[in-house]
A and B are shown apart, each in its own frame.
Chain A
Amino acid sequence: MKLFGIVFVIALFGFGVVMMRIEINRSGRTISQLQNEVEVKEARNQYLQLEISRLSSPENITRLAQEKLGMVPAKPHEIVVLEDK
């Protein structure tokens, strides 16, 4: 009876260790996949930020304003500056 008890405890411990290993491996894979995803998203985000910078460059905006909207730069005296009084 005593021997059976010892064997049972050892088996239980062994089972626990195996389960833990499986869980560790599974979590490891998940972490790895998530890290990959984060990396891709961060890289894409960076490229999109760059695209925003490119598109909002003064040269680009000036060109679009002139070509698409027919705008011309205002002369400084044509601008009325409202001052806080």
Chain B
Amino acid sequence: MFKKPANSPFVFNVKSRMRVAGMIILLAPLVIFGRLFYMQTFLYEEFSSKAERAIYNYLAEDRLRGKILDINGRELAESVRTHSCGVNKRYVQDKSKTVAFLAETLGMGKKQILTKWNRSGNFFFIAKKIKPDKYIKISQILRTRLGQGLELTPEYERIHPYGNSALDIVGASNSKNYGLSGIEQMYNRELSQDISKKRAKRARRGEIIYDRKLKEELSVANVYLTIDAVAQFYAENALKKAVEDVGGVEHAIAVVQETKTGKILAAASYPVKDGQSLAFQFTYEPGSTFKTIAISSALDAGVVRVTDSIDMDGRKWEIARGVVVHDNQHKKDFLSIPEIMQLSSNIGAGKIALELGAKNLFYYIKGFGFGTKTDINFNGESKGNLPHFSKWTKVDTATKGYGYGVAVTPIQLINAYSAVANGGILMQPHIVDRIEYAGGKVEKKSKPVKIRRVIKQETSDVMKKVLQSVVEVGSGKRAQITGYQVAGKTGTAEKLSKEGGYAKRSHVASFCGFAPVSDPQFTVLVVLDNPGKYSFGGTAAAPVFKEIMERMLAMKGVAPDQLDF
């Protein structure tokens, strides 16, 4: 194999030794390169995930849920991080010392701790939602002999600084940061955050290395409602007083809307249950408050004029054989349109509805937004009940004129009244004003959106005057506010009886109106389901309307539009 040169006996030795040595030296890096190549190519995923785990820590569990605030930034719901302290009995080194430490730190009796200790299995929670100072005391001894067997589990507590106020809208979330009802559920994605994408660098012992950018990234979106916490308080307070005064009320609702923009400023419910806003979920036959809708429609279609007089048929009108409507509240043979509203004549409203016809009335009612959910799409929101006109009998058409045979939600009715006050334009109602994302991005949700024109401007002007006369000389006198022109309509609807037909002694009393008439700022609706003492809208609901509207006008500094007061 090797040739030995004749003239140099050393050449073979030196060259071949160098070659061998070179090969040996090269072999080691070759093996290393080969291994590296293998690792980079075939074991890439395994190693990259190991590195990922070593360097980064996922902070999804360490985040706080976003806040829910009112339109002015007052916190309605916010989260705080708390901890639960658990004991793993198997690892506890000195039972008596650990019990003594826990008793002192948590402010509990030793006996109490020992009872829990003896009753439970290997693991048990000794205290939940512990305060930060206690948490720190325990966390400081976790790595010592005394702390062995103790565990601290992070939890989140949702706090409502204003108590139950607006809780029916805000809703509830659980300790795992998940929205269960109301806005908490509707905007759960924005209030919590994408778990998989948030990661932080980890130091050698596992501590998280924060930097400013990461903290910003971690702060989740805050949801601002159109609700004004002060207006909400007024509405809730007035409703609470009414419920106590009147007695026997099953449900009560008060809604305040900004007439021109459709923003819901307050929506109070009784009883208060988290995430169950009756403004969206309660359906009822509106009774006389619905006359505004039927008469606006008839005036707009031109089938009646405001100066027309309607024959009362001796205040006993037989719509069809066996179906008779009575007007017991007046003695007049003829009523003008304003008088029909002032005296809340069912005969007048029924006759006008028939004059308009089922098809026209149906499409006007639809146009006002009844029978359809609002775009808010609140959890459990009802669309009410408006059967198609092809199924209506003559009696159905007439009764719809005064608010029977149709079921509405408070939000639909207040929005329709706002349309009458707002020159005939139906606005999109809003409950969420804006969402502020991390990094300052703001998504505006409550820009005024015109849905459609429902009635002409002239019809709106006439209806405002008609409704104003209801408060000035009609059934809504208790809604008068010194210095302001107020418009509105009372409603007293008999409730459906369980035995069939209508219950004579069970009512829904309501009042819906707006002010000031010269430039409507607020629309307020009050609904009392089955009031005990006063069963009429004018006596039970109108004073509540007045109280809320007075506070709203004062709060927003709306100038009086009546000069001679």
Contact = CB atoms under 8 A, between A and B. Distances in A.
A53 B74 contact: yes
B236 to A, nearest CB: 9
A35 B165 contact: no
Interface stretch (B155-163, B276-284, B456-464): B155-163
Interface in B473-528: 481-484
Interface stretch (A2-10, A11-19, A40-48): A40-48
A78 to B, nearest CB: 8
B557 interface: yes
Interface in B226-281: 229-230, 233-234, 237
A70 interface: no
Contacts of B207: 31-32, 35
A44, A54, A58, most chain B CB atoms within 10 A? A58
Contacts of B482: 75, 77
A42 B557 CA distance: 39
B322 to A, nearest CB: 50
Nearest to A46: B80
Interface in B44-93: 74-75, 78, 80-81
A39 interface: yes
Contacts of B159: 50
A54 B136 CA distance: 25
Contacts of A46: 80
A77 B132 contact: no
B553 interface: yes
Contacts of B131: 47
Contacts of B204: 28
Nearest to A57: B162
Nearest to B164: A59
A51 B278 CA distance: 30
A32 B163 CA distance: 37
Contacts of A44: 132-133
A74 B555 CA distance: 9
B190 interface: no
A65 B483 CA distance: 25
Contacts of B136: 36, 39-40
Interface of A is mostly: helix
Given A40-B133, A54-B161, A74 B554 contact: yes
A75 B550 contact: yes
Interface string B326-348: 00000000000000000000000
B163 A59 contact: yes
Given A58-B229, A77-B560, A50 B80 contact: yes
A75 B551 CA distance: 7
A26 to B, nearest CB: 14
Contacts of A83: 559
26 contacts: A28-B205, A31-B207, A35-B207, A36-B136, A43-B81, A44-B132, A46-B80, A47-B131, A50-B159, A53-B161, A53-B162, A57-B161, A57-B162, A57-B229, A58-B165, A58-B230, A58-B233, A59-B165, A59-B233, A62-B233, A75-B483, A76-B483, A76-B550, A76-B553, A76-B554, A81-B559
Interface of B: 74-75, 78, 80-81, 131-133, 135-136, 139-140, 159, 161-163, 165, 203-205, 207, 229-230, 233-234, 237, 481-484, 550-551, 553-554, 557-560, 565
Q: Please give me the 5 A-B residue pairs with the lowest Cβ-Cβ distance, nearest first.
A: A77-B483, A43-B132, A53-B161, A76-B553, A58-B233
Interface of A: 28, 31-32, 35-36, 39-40, 43-44, 46-47, 50, 53-54, 56-59, 62, 73-77, 79, 81, 83
Given A39-B132, A59-B237, 16 more contacts: A32-B207, A40-B132, A43-B80, A43-B132, A44-B132, A44-B133, A57-B161, A57-B165, A75-B483, A75-B554, A76-B550, A76-B553, A76-B554, A77-B481, A79-B557, A81-B559
